[in-house]
């Protein structure tokens, strides 16, 4: 069990003081993110699993998340925490449930009459969905009620919510990459609404068209990421943590808001320039989310590196700064290549990849070396290893993308008026290109995490 003594200098608190809201927010949002990903897969055009199969499959992540994390709540509060966790998940899922409870027109032409109109059984479905979520979470809490586990303090639950927030950006980045890879960016004509419907009330039936499905689901994941980011910011600001995470959580919220505006302008003006900025900025926001998650961990707060770790971290810091800058430049080249189909950008992207790979490998090696010097350097060693693995995978994906997805032709993106005559999507080429883009985002985020750890360790232990 953790200590019950108040630790004002580190932000640690009595495990009992966490109550049920902090755990419920982490569990509920975490489960909702997993449920959204499963729902996206099950409702992809060409898949479309029936509700009798989809609904039980959607409840599995909720049950698993509750059984995994509810044991961190004091036994006497687990049932209540389960109920609140189910409620939180149910409320978050209303953002995606709206597509099921609205009127389902036969075509987009009917949207002018049926947009934002709820089906007669809408409120029954809403109440049923929330009730089922609560029941499943309660079942999980009863299963683990007597399980012996360390009670987690408020700070730990905040840290978990930060990781949930960062992970929420993964499907957003992935679906956004698929939008670009399939030329789906202008499939929905209006920028704020979707064919006149409030985003969360766009009919599921109209998402049978692949490009509409990708573009609109990207907007929905953006809504989820924005909502989660707001909750994270509020939780961090009112928590007893250091000033830097508080400032960065506000910066993250402002960045996500700006990213949403960039997306709106990109669609409203059909602007390639804003598409490029939107794509580049998204990965920087993604990296920032993971940096914040690291800064809210107990390991970050309590690390006390040895002199050997400090010496190696100082060497790693210099190389990691260069590696991160190089990755940002490479990110711009990649965005220019994807959105403009420019041969010059593609050649620059290919040539600069060798410089990036060299810097990442060298920087990762310094991180691994720093981690081996002393157990206090273990976190930076992990990121160094991840950098080596991801950059190798990314390099291979780059050549696969070049051979399977690259074209120097700059096609006109299909719009709402031309979707019916647009070329069929090449699934293999789109998948490879999207994986390359997501892997690039993962490499940038991993490098950013290694960089902040190098900076942290290079400063040495705090003088008390």
**Domain edges within the chain:** 303-408+424-464
Q: Would you state the pLDDT for residue 343?
A: 87
Distance CA 165, CA 174 (A): 15
295-353 per-position pLDDT tens digit: 999 999 888 898 999 999 999 999 999 999 999 999 999 999 988 888 899 999 999 99
Is the Cβ–Cβ distance between 391 and 447 less than 8 Å? no
* Six token digits for residue 433: 């290109």
Q: C-alpha dihedral over 436, 439, 443, 448, to 10 degrees?
A: 110
Distance CA 220, CA 229 (A): 14
The model's pLDDT over 96-147, given as tens digits with 9 standing for 90+, comes to 999 999 999 988 888 888 888 999 999 999 999 999 999 999 999 999 988 8
Q: What is the pLDDT of residue 463?
A: 58
pTM for the whole thing? 0.92
Q: What is the DSSP secondary-structure string of 290-317?
A: HHHHHHTSHHHHH----HHHHHHHHHHH
Q: Does residue 245 contact residue 165 with C-beta atoms inside 8 Å?
A: no
Write out the H or E segment, with its range, that includes residue 353. helix 343-373
Structure tokens at 170: 């993964």
Per-residue model confidence (pLDDT) at position 407: 79
Dihedral of CA 34/39/40/44: which sign? positive
Residue 416 contacts residue 108 (beta carbons within 8 Å): yes
Q: Is 209 left (phi over 0), alpha (psi -120 to 50) or beta?
A: beta
Which region holds residue 44: left if phi is over 0, alpha if psi is between -120 and 50, else beta?
A: beta
CATH class of the domain defined by 303-408+424-464: mainly alpha
pLDDT of residue 3: 36
Q: What residues in the chain have per-residue pLDDT under 50?
A: 1-17
Q: Which two tokens stand for residue 236?
A: 């961090």
* DSSP-derived secondary structure for 79-136: HHHHHHHHHHHHHHTHHHHHHHHB---SSGGGHHHHTTPBPTTHHHHHHHHHHHHHHH
The secondary structure of residue 6, as a DSSP letter, is: -
Please check whether residue 306 is in contact with residue 373, taking contact to mean a CB–CB distance below 8 angstroms.
yes
């Amino acid at each position: 069990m953790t200590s019950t003594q108040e630790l004002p200098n580190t932000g640690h608190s009595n495990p009992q003081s966490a109550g049920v809201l902090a755990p419920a927010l982490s569990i509920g949002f975490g489960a909702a993110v997993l449920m959204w990903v499963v729902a996206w897969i099950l409702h992809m055009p060409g898949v479309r699993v029936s509700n009798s199969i989809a609904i039980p499959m959607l409840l599995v992540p909720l049950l698993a998340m509750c059984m995994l994390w509810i044991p961190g709540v004091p036994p006497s509060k687990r049932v209540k925490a389960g109920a609140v966790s189910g409620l939180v998940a149910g409320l978050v899922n209303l953002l995606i449930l709206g597509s099921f409870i609205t009127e389902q027109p036969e075509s987009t032409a009917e949207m002018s009459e049926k947009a934002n109109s709820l089906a007669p059984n809408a409120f029954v479905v809403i109440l049923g969905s929330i009730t089922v979520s609560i029941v499943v979470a309660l079942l999980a809490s009863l299963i683990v009620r007597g399980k012996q586990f360390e009670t987690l303090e408020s700070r730990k639950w905040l840290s978990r919510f930060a990781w949930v927030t960062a992970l929420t950006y993964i499907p957003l980045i992935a679906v956004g990459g698929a939008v670009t890879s399939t030329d789906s960016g202008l499939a929905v004509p209006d920028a704020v609404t979707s064919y006149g419907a409030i985003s969360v009330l766009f009919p599921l039936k109209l998402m049978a068209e692949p490009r509409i499905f990708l573009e609109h689901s990207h907007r929905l994941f953006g809504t989820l990421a924005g909502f989660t980011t707001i909750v994270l910011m509020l939780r961090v600001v009112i928590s007893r943590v250091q000033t830097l995470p508080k400032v960065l959580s506000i910066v993250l919220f402002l960045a996500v808001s700006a990213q949403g505006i960039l997306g709106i302008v990109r669609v409203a003006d059909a602007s390639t320039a804003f598409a490029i900025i939107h794509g580049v900025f998204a990965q920087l926001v993604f990296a920032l989310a993971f940096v914040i998650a690291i800064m809210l961990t107990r390991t970050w707060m309590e690390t006390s590196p040895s002199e050997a770790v400090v010496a190696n971290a100082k060497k790693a810091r210099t190389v990691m700064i260069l590696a991160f800058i190089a990755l940002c430049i490479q990110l711009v080249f990649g965005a220019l290549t994807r959105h403009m189909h420019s041969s010059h950008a593609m050649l620059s992207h290919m040539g600069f990849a060798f410089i990036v790979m060299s810097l990442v490998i060298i920087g990762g090696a310094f991180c691994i070396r720093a981690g081996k010097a002393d157990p206090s350097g273990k976190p930076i060693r992990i990121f160094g290893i991840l950098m080596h693995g991801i950059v190798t995978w990314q390099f291979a994906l780059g050549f696969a993308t070049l051979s399977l997805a690259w074209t120097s032709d700059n096609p006109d993106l299909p719009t709402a008026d031309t979707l019916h005559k647009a070329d069929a999507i090449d699934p293999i080429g789109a998948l490879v290109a999207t994986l390359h883009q997501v892997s690039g985002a993962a490499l940038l985020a991993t490098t950013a995490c290694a960089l902040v750890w190098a900076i942290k360790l290079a400063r040495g232990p705090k003088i008390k």
